[in-house]
Chain A
Amino acid sequence: MKDIDKSFKKDTETDFPLREEMRPRKVTTPDGQVIDIDPLQDYFCQEPPKVHRKSYSAIVEGFYNWARANSLWILGFGTGCGAIEMRPLMTPRFDAYRYGIQWRPTPRQSNLLVISGYLSVKTLKRAIRAYEQMPQPKYVVGLGSCTINGGMYWDSYNTIKKLDEYLPVDLYIAGCMPRPEALLAGLMDLKKLIRKGEAEGANRYAENFDWYKANQKSVIKDWDMPDYSW
């Protein structure tokens, strides 16, 4: 079930140039000084992610996990058709706010990335960048069959099949499409995982960073971004 289709794999023959805004260049500052800018060096961090240890005290970590579970902030980022199933959770019918689940507009302030459906290679790039910018601990939920095994997009030339090979998934919600009730039940299960301290996807990502990067780079044909963008 690996993404080994010939048309799918990265083209290693052709040389993909960096995007224009990523190329090194000379810039004249307002006071006439000419400075060299290398965006990949200057604007992004070159360090790989670190494994963050748990708190030394089990009681403190337990309290933190309780707080994390009861204050889940979801990144308002939707891919595929599942994004439409997230919206009813904000409405009077399902009202996820009563469980401490809220939506945030920026990855810096969110803890949960819901990949809500099929993920095209083009969107995978953005999902990776959004995921890497979120502060630890962070969680990924794969919504729908497309994130589990490709679903109805199994032999598509442009969507990934197993999300877990590219981002560390904490929880899958099966279905095509799962109804909002299923999503809500899945989020309750995620809360239980967090309470137990088992949702350590961010550390898994840091430990197996090279493997994840190799997988990501093997499908993204024009890798024109830094290796790790916090």
Chain B
Amino acid sequence: MSFEWIHVAYAALTLFIVINYGMIMTALVRKIGARVSGRYGIPIWQNYIDLAKNIALRSKVTHGAMFYLGPVFRLTGGVGLLLFVPTIYGSVMHQNFSYAGDLILALYFVFFGTLGMALGAGESGHPHAAIGVSRGLAQVTTAELPLALAVYALSLQYQTIDITEIVAAQQGSLFNWTLFTNPLATVAALFGLVGTMMRSPFDVVMAPQEIPIGPPTEYHSSYLALMQTNRVLFPVAKVVIFMNLFFGGATNWAEFAVKAFAIYMIPVLIGVVNPRFRVEQSIRFFLKWGLPVGILAIVTV
């Protein structure tokens, strides 16, 4: 793919659509949760108001350079993840900057934000932040193992590390999806998805009632606004990768909206019925159940 300047504008448009989609969708998911428990729930535009409120706060306390850079790295992880994979398959505008080796880069970007957050939260000096970071890195590392194995299985299966080609191979019929051609890899990757979404039972990193909220304990005002933006962007970007790799990708925005919502609901549904794991329990869970499935996916491909 040759580079033209108009691609920057197209990518910005994709980013804009995805951020707004994430804002509305995460609020909708919270609202559904509230309705299920018999409450009316937050207004659907609450995320926008919270964002505006946090930007509107007057005092901003900093703890040093890395404290600034933590949320920036985190947002870079989300934006990078989105911009280097094709969001809409076959669309010139929303192909973004995907290239022949984007699958490997995507794997890297999934982890990048966590590392940036670790540095930033470390400098905030709050003990709860340090606890949250050490838990987060340990848990995300083991949750990534089945995901990485599933991705290798996929690249063996399709003989490519280009996400666009993987999506192209799944077009035509529902049964061309990786979900049906390679169910083991899909299950292994779903371990990774559920483990990195910061939802129960794997939300010991944040653990609101235990270590106030872990890494972002000291973050407020504009820093928190950056992280809130990432919190709506990053899950959707991650879901886009899963959609492309396992669920046939999306050829238009309507299909994208439906599929992204459906995939996002997997960790949500698992989350609402399961209590929180302790960190050693979740590590053991991923090594005991996730890793063998990932190895099986590689062996049987």
Contacts and interface: CB of A to CB of B under 8 A. Distances in A.
Interface of A: 50, 52, 63-64, 67-68, 70-71, 91-92, 95, 97-98, 100, 102, 104-106, 108-109, 111, 135-137, 230
Given A64-B53, A109-B220, 16 more contacts: A52-B58, A67-B56, A68-B53, A70-B49, A71-B46, A92-B37, A92-B38, A95-B39, A95-B41, A97-B39, A104-B213, A106-B213, A108-B217, A108-B219, A109-B216, A135-B57
B218 interface: yes
Given A52-B59, A135-B59, A137-B58, A67 B213 contact: no
A64 B34 CA distance: 27
Contacts of B43: 98, 100
13 contacts: A63-B52, A67-B52, A71-B46, A92-B37, A95-B40, A95-B41, A98-B43, A100-B46, A105-B208, A106-B212, A108-B217, A135-B57, A230-B61
A136 B57 contact: yes
Contacts of A106: 212-213, 217-218
Contacts of A135: 57-61, 220-221
B215 to A, nearest CB: 11
Contacts of B217: 106, 108
Contacts of A50: 59
Contacts of B57: 111, 135-137
Interface of B: 34, 37-43, 46, 49-50, 52-53, 56-61, 208-209, 212-213, 216-221, 224
A109 B208 contact: no
B40 A98 contact: yes
A101 to B, nearest CB: 9
A105 B212 contact: yes
B209 A105 contact: yes
A136 B59 contact: yes
A100 B49 contact: yes
Contacts of A102: 42
A195 to B, nearest CB: 13
Contacts of B37: 92
A95 B43 CA distance: 12
Nearest to B38: A92
Nearest to A110: B220
A224 B59 CA distance: 26
Contacts of B221: 135
A106 B221 CA distance: 13
Contacts of B61: 108, 135, 230
Contact of A98 (B42, B50, B58, B213): B42
Nearest to A63: B52
Nearest to A60: B56
A92 B41 CA distance: 9
A135 B213 CA distance: 17
Contacts of B208: 105
B220 A98 contact: no
A138 to B, nearest CB: 9
Contacts of B34: 95, 97
A105 B220 contact: no
B109 to A, nearest CB: 27
A68 B216 CA distance: 21
Nearest to B211: A105
Contacts of B224: 109
Contacts of B42: 97-98, 100, 102
Contacts of B52: 63-64, 67, 71
A98 B217 CA distance: 25
Contact of A71 (B38, B50, B219): B50
Contacts of B49: 67, 70-71, 100
Tell which of A91, A108, A135 has the most Cβ of chain B within 10 Å.
A108
B46 A105 contact: no
A52 B56 CA distance: 12
Contacts of B212: 105-106
A99 to B, nearest CB: 9
